[in-house]
Structure 1
Amino acid sequence: MSTEQTTLAGGFSYTLTRTLQAPAVKVWRAWTTPEQYAQWAYAAVGSVEMDVRPGGAWKATMVTPDGGQFPLTGSYLEVVENRLLVVGMDVPGRPAPAAMTMELDEQDGHHTRIELRQTCDTAEERDMAEQGSTMLLDSLGVFLTDGASG
Structure 2
Amino acid sequence: METGNKVTITVETTVQIPVEEVWKYWTEPQHITKWSFASDDWHAPNAENDLRDGGRFHTRMEAKDGSFGFDFSGVYDEVKIHELISYTLDDGRKVTIRFVPQENETKIIETFEAETDNPTEMQEAGWQAFLDNFKKYSETTNKA
Alignment TM-score, normalising by the size of structure 2? 0.82
The alignment partner of 1:10 has SS state of coil
Q: How far apart are 1:132 and its partner, in Å?
A: 2.3
Residue 93 of structure 2: aligned partner = 98
CA distance in 2, matches of 1:38, 1:148: 16
Alignment equivalent of 1:39, drawn from 34, 42, 55:
34
Residue 129 (structure 1) aligns with: 123
Kept in 1, the 8 Å contact 2:76–2:87? The answer is yes
Query: Is 1:25 paired with 2:20?
Result: yes
- Counterpart Cα distance in 1 of 2:123 and 2:142: 26
Query: Mind listing any 5+ residue stretches in structure 1 that lack a counterpart?
Result: 1-8, 92-96
Aligned AA (2:26) = W
1:126 is displaced (CA, Å) by 3.4
Over the matched positions of the two proteins, sequence identity in percent amounts to 27
| Alignment partners' CA distance in 2, 1:50 and 1:14 | 24
**Corresponding residue for residue 78 of structure 2:** 78
Q: Distance in 1 between matches of 2:113 and 2:72?
A: 18
Which amino acid counterpart does residue 39 of structure 1 have in structure 2? K
Residue 88 of structure 1 aligns to which amino acid in structure 2? Answer: T
Equivalent residue, structure 2, for 1:58 = 57
Task: Tell me how far 1:60 sits from its aligned partner.
Answer: 1.3
Alpha-carbon contact 2:36-2:44 (below 8 Å) kept: no
The amino acid that maps onto 1:10 is: N
Distance 1:113 1:148, change over 3 A: closer
1:71–1:124 CA distance, 2 compared to 1 (3 A): closer
What is the rounded CA distance, in whole Å, between the counterparts of 2:123 and 2:64 in structure 1? 16
Give the aligned length: 135
Q: 2:136 aligns with which of 128, 138, 142?
A: 142
Q: Which residue of 1 aligns with 2:40?
A: none
What letter is aligned with 2:113? Answer: T
Q: What value does the CA root-mean-square deviation take over the aligned residues?
A: 2.2
Give the CA deviation at 1:18. 1.5
| 1:112 maps to which of 106, 110, 117 | 106
Q: TM-score, structure 1 length as denominator?
A: 0.79
Distance 1:21 1:130, change over 3 A: same
CA contact (8 A) 1:119 1:126 kept: no
Q: Secondary structure at the match of 1:146?
A: helix
Report SS of the residue matched to 1:117. Answer: strand
Q: Relative contact order (alpha carbons < 8 A, sep ≥ 6): 1 or 2 greater? A: 2
